[in-house]
Amino acid sequence: MSRPFPGIRSLRTFEAAGRHLNFTRAAEEVGLTPAAVSHQIKELEDQLGLGLFVRTSRSIQLTPAGALLLEAAAESLGLLHRATVRARRLARTSEQLRVSLTARFATHWLLPRLPQFRALHPGLKLSFDVSDELRDFAVDDIDLAIRFGSGRYPGLLAERLFDTQIVPVCCPSLLEEQLPLREPRDLQAHTLCHVVCETEGAAWPDWSRWMAAAGVEDFDASACVNFEDTSHVVQAVLEGGAVGLADRAMVMRELEQGLLVQPFELGVRVADDYAYNLVYPQASAQDPRVTAFRDWIMAELAD
């Protein structure tokens, strides 16, 4: 009698354990306890009648049979994932569109404008994948993406939306305090904050880089406050009285509403050719859902 085929759950657990060679890290990835991972692996070994790992007091190693099964499991799970993504796209109706974008762009640019899109396209339902990663259209369940970067993505179409600069911003009340901001050097008397992140290998400008562009020598960056997200910078500026470096395009509404001011005109770019881009597969260029979203966002930028 043939042995039953392993289930997807046990194969996924085995693949994670074999890739990490560590039951604890595998448990964190698949959402189980290390003991549960060990139990599933033992059940899989009993089911197959094979030893998949050599266990010692300090480590685990794959057996030759385990290494062979790991390769097959990784390939099979990847194939199943890609097929599932394609199946979801096929099942998605002409009234649904899934957009991948960063939290920064969603919060500061897209969400305030969504009512206009919904008024124009009441029958098109949007859903969002919020991530800083450039998703792989072949394996991730998305229809299009908005990304900041070079716009060079092999096999994909990238339409440039707008570029931006990183500029200093503060509350209007800060300009009225006893510590004046007449020249860039005066900023050193205030709490300075900025984002620490990279986009396609390019680091976002920090205060050292901005001060160098402003001609301020011997700037001491040790007191600067670092954040991982622009929203935290804006919050520190609005609520904590700091001066922050922010993506001007993402705080334009706050600037227009007078909640923030830009004390100095100087801005620096992340990289010379970087911009916000609308990205989608070439095969989707004539998709009515994609064209509806593309035409709307281009019209918004033209206003």
- In a 3-state reduction of DSSP, which class is residue 86? helix
Question: Which CATH code fits 92-162+274-302?
Answer: 3.40.190.10
DSSP secondary structure letter of residue 170: B
Residue 36: alpha-carbon gap to chain centroid: 31
**Lowest-confidence segment of 61-70, 149-158, 177-186 by average pLDDT:** 177-186
pLDDT 10s digits, 207-237: 999 999 999 998 999 989 999 888 889 999 9
Asked if the domains 8-90 and 166-256 are classified in one and the same CATH topology, the answer is no
The CATH architecture to which 166-256 belongs is 3-Layer(aba) Sandwich (3.40)
The CATH architecture to which 8-90 belongs is Orthogonal Bundle (1.10)
pTM of the model: 0.69
- In a 3-state reduction of DSSP, which class is residue 261? strand
pLDDT 10s digits, 63-102: 999 999 999 999 888 788 777 766 776 666 568 899 999 9
